[in-house]
Amino acid sequence: MFTFEQYLGFLAFATILTIGFWLMIFLITFVVPYWIGGALMERLKEMRDEKKAKRQALN
């Protein structure tokens, strides 16, 4: 059926595949939304500061 080297190769492949799968799940569910949310909050903060600066320049 399988030689021992083939069995070890299959185990290595299955391990790498599983690690990659869980890494993608982690990135999609936590890291990417955190990154997008932080970028949006930073942009809104910049826009609010620009409006405040314009108001102060008019006064």
pTM of the model: 0.69
Dist CA 27 CA 11 (whole Å): 24
38 exposed, middle or buried (CB, 10 Å; 0-12, 13-18, 19+)? exposed
Where do the domains of the chain lie? 25-53
Q: What is the pLDDT along the chain (59 residues), one digit of tens a residue?
A: 889 999 999 999 999 999 999 999 999 999 999 999 999 999 999 999 999 999 999 87
